[in-house]
Homo-oligomer: A and B are copies of this chain.
Amino acid sequence: MPVIRFYKLYLSPGRKYVKTLRNLLGFVPGNLSLYRLAFRHKSAAQNVKKGVKNSNERLEFLGDAVLGSVVAEVLFKMYPFKDEGFLTELRSKIVNRANLNQLGRKLGFENLVEYDNRMIGATRQGSLLGDAFEALIGAVYLDKGYDFTKNFLITRIIKPHIDIHTLELTETNFKSKLIEWCQRHGKDVIFEHITNNEGESNKLFTINVNIDGETMGMGKEFSKKYAEKLAAEKACTALGI
C-alpha cells in the first residue's frame, strides 16, 4: 500500500490533484474520478447518455443521505437526554444549505469546483459550494466506505468547523419569521389549535397556521411548541419565505 500511495503522490499523472485533495481531506484518495465528479457542477458537465450528465448531482443525493445519517448519530450520542424533536431541529441547523455553503467556502472549494459561469448568476454561485460539499461526501463514501467517512466527517469537518453548541442556542424561529413576513405583507396570521375529536392520545397536538383564512401549514407533534414550530416551518416553505 505505501508503494501505491507513493506512486499516486509523486509519480502518477494526477499527482498534483492528488496532493491538493490530500491537503484538503487529510487522506490520499483512491478513485480520483469520483472526486473529479464531485466537483463538477451541472453547468460544466457533458452529456454521457441521453438525458444524463456527468455532473455531481447524483453524488450530492448520496452524500446528503450519508451526511444526514452521520450527523444523526453524532447528535444521538451527544445529547442522550434530548428528544427526537430537538435532534431533528438541531440536525437541520447543521446541514442546512447556508451552513454547507459557508463550509465549502471555508474549505476553499471555490478553486476546485468546475462550473460555467455564463450559466450561473452570482446569487446562485454560493450554493455550488454546499452542493459540492455533499457530493464530496458521496465520493468519500463510495471510495472508502461508511466508517471511514464517518470518521473523516467527525475529525476533519464537524470538530474543527461546526460549533454544535452555538447552533443549539441560535434559534431558527420560524414562528416569528412567519409573523414578521405577514405583518410586512399586511396579512392576518392565526395559529389555530385543532381540538382532537378522534379519541386519540391527548398528548398529540395539531396546530394549523391560517393566513388570511387559508391553512398554509399544519403541525402534529407530541409537544405544542414543536407542533407550532412545524406548522410555521411548513407555512414558511409554502410561501417561499
Interface mask (A190-232 → B, CB under 8 Å = 1, otherwise 0): 0000000011111110001001101111100010000000000
Instruction: Please give me the residue from chain B that is nearest to A217 by CB atom.
Output: B238
- A214 engages B215 (CB within 8 Å): no
- B42 engages A58 (CB within 8 Å): no
Residues of B within 8 A of A169 (CB): none
- B72 engages A61 (CB within 8 Å): yes
Which listed segment binds B: A9-17, A99-107, A115-123, A175-183?
A: A115-123
A115 to chain B, nearest CB (A): 10
Instruction: Please give me the residue from chain B that is nearest to A196 by CB atom.
Output: B121
A172 to chain B, nearest CB (A): 18
Residues of B within 8 A of A57 (CB): 83-84
**Is A114 interfacial (CB 8 A cutoff)?**
no
Interface mask (A88-106 → B, CB under 8 Å = 1, otherwise 0): 1000000000000000000
Residues of B within 8 A of A82 (CB): 52
How far is A119 from B204 in the complex, measured between Cα atoms in Å? Answer: 10
- B214 engages A240 (CB within 8 Å): no
CB within 8 Å of B: which A30-86 residues:
42-43, 49, 51-53, 57-58, 60-62, 64-66, 68-69, 71-73, 76, 81-84
Q: Residues of A with Cβ closer than 8 Å to B?
A: 42-43, 49, 51-53, 57-58, 60-62, 64-66, 68-69, 71-73, 76, 81-84, 87-88, 119-121, 123-124, 141, 145-147, 150, 198-204, 208, 211-212, 214-218, 222, 234-235, 237-240
Known: A51-B83, A119-B203. 10 other contacts (CB 8 A): A49-B81, A52-B83, A58-B87, A61-B72, A65-B72, A211-B214, A214-B216, A215-B238, A215-B239, A216-B216
